[in-house]
Amino acid sequence: MEDASFPKPFASKLEYNSPVHGNWNIVHTGMQVPETIQIYVCAENCMRGVVLTAAEMNAADRFSYVIVEEKDLLYSNLEELTIEGVTDVLNKRGDHPKAVLLFTVCLHHFLGSNLKYIYRKLEERFPDICFIRCYMDPIMQKHSLTPDQKLRKAMYDPLPVCEADEKTVSVLGSDFVLDESSDIKRLLKRYGYRVRELPACNTWQELLEMSRGRLFLNCYPAGKYGMEAQAKRLGREHLYLPGSFSYEEIENQLKQLTDMLGLPELTEEELAHERAACEEKLAEAKNLMGEMPIVLDYLYHPRPLGLAKLLLTHGFCVKAIYLDGISPEEKEDFLWLQEHAPELELIATIQVKMRVLPRGGEEKVLAIGQKAAYFSRSRHFVNLVQGEGLYGFDGIRRTAELMMDAYLNEKDTERLVIQKGWGCECCL
């Protein structure tokens, strides 16, 4: 840790893709939009992965594609190929979905395709279908908004302009609903607010009703851009309340929420009770695990450094963090760890050497996250991705509970981590 640089501790070189596939990709995320289909216009080599994803989550009936071949680039027009290909797909289906998530790709950028023209023509041909503008363009992955960020904005583009419901709050941008016991939901339900979330929507109409939220919230970093864009478009107040393992940050976020809604602040007694409950649960986990080494990764939660700090300050034996970059949101935690845990290891997951370096050792470790479990060969691991429904003080307590369960119960790591999209229906 003492030798690491912020925010890029590792050089960007040839990358290795481990067989850990629990994180969601754009197919998984897009499938959350109910009563819709996805159409990809892409070359065959890139199509393989997205086709398999749809099949593995038993959603092949909601997935179609238009293959672009080399001759199409040399002798035809990509705009017309896209329009006619999508038209053919929709005519052959025989049904008209509420919306189509149409994914254009890197080739459209390279050839300077007129995307506005493509969508205008499709909307003229199919006026009863909402065409959602999506992108599968990983060439932009490290230089602009990622395909994931753009998708998490596009999914909410259909939300209509309407009057706000004073007792509704909409949570945008996450793949998972917040736990019912999470701090946000407990607080909002205390005062009679309805919480709307896309992962809980079963119909297209329920998605559209999300625009009624008087306040838009986002708790997952990749969804922040989309939430802010929709709040600006629809004229809604908004808050970014990212999951955290810091008591002080959690308290500040809850105050932001109560101030924005004009609700009474949590009392000192209530906050003290929340902290005490966390301390009790963490102490219980420490007493059970003793000095068992812990490794954790960024896939479990967007704040791996904050989690490491929390555990270290409560006596846990944290040995390593698996990550490839450091979020600007974790700069203070990075500096704290450099000073107080200089021997803590930061280990890359995508550097090509990870393909051949020895994995695991004789000593048993508890892993928090799938990549940590895979690289450490641990069968005692917390199987959860992207922070799932964790939030606030409740998220800290649930993490401690999951650690205790992982300590007491072994898992079949090799079988579990290869399943794509943890939490999705999967036929692997």
The domain that contains 61 carries what CATH number?
A: 3.40.50.1980
Q: Is 61 part of any domain?
A: yes
Q: Is 49 part of any domain?
A: yes
Rg, C-alpha atoms of the chain:
23
Residue 236 domain boundaries: 165-261
Instruction: Please list the residues that pair with 38 across neighbouring strands.
Output: 63, 101
pTM: 0.95
Cα 16 from Cα 138, distance rounded (Å): 16
Q: Is 16 part of any domain?
A: no
Q: State whether 358 and 404 are in the same domain.
A: yes
pLDDT of res. 142: 66
Tell me how far apart the terminal alpha carbons of the chain are, to the nearest angstrom: 38
Final residue of a structural domain among 233, 261, 289: 261
Q: State whether 334 and 402 are in the same domain.
A: yes
Of 18, 15, 70, nearest to 44 (Cα)? Answer: 70
Place of tokens 């999914």: 155
Q: Is 28 part of any domain?
A: no
**What is the CA 131 to chain-centroid distance, rounded?**
23
Q: State whether 174 and 254 are in the same domain.
A: yes
Q: State whether 350 and 376 are in the same domain.
A: yes
Q: Tokens standing for 17? A: 């893709």
pLDDT tens per residue, range 128-178: 999 999 999 877 666 778 899 999 999 999 999 999 999 999 999 999 999
pLDDT of res. 426: 59
pLDDT of res. 428: 47
Q: State whether 95 and 214 are in the same domain.
A: no
Final residue of a structural domain among 102, 130, 154: 154
pLDDT of res. 72: 85
Count of the separate structural domains present in the chain: 3
pLDDT of res. 362: 82
Q: Which residues of the chain have pLDDT under 70?
A: 140-142, 425-428
CA 353 → CA 13, 207, 319, 331, 347, distances in Å? 11, 44, 20, 27, 11
Cα 336 from Cα 6, distance rounded (Å): 12
On whether the CB atoms of residues 367 and 320 are closer than 8 A, the answer is no
- What is residue 351's DSSP assignment? B
Q: State whether 326 and 391 are in the same domain.
A: yes
Q: State whether 251 and 309 are in the same domain.
A: no
Cα 52 from Cα 43, distance rounded (Å): 15
Q: Is 343 part of any domain?
A: yes
CATH of the domain at 374: 3.40.50
Q: What are phi and psi of 98, to 5 degrees?
A: -60, -35
Q: State whether 138 and 248 are in the same domain.
A: no
Q: State whether 92 and 142 are in the same domain.
A: yes
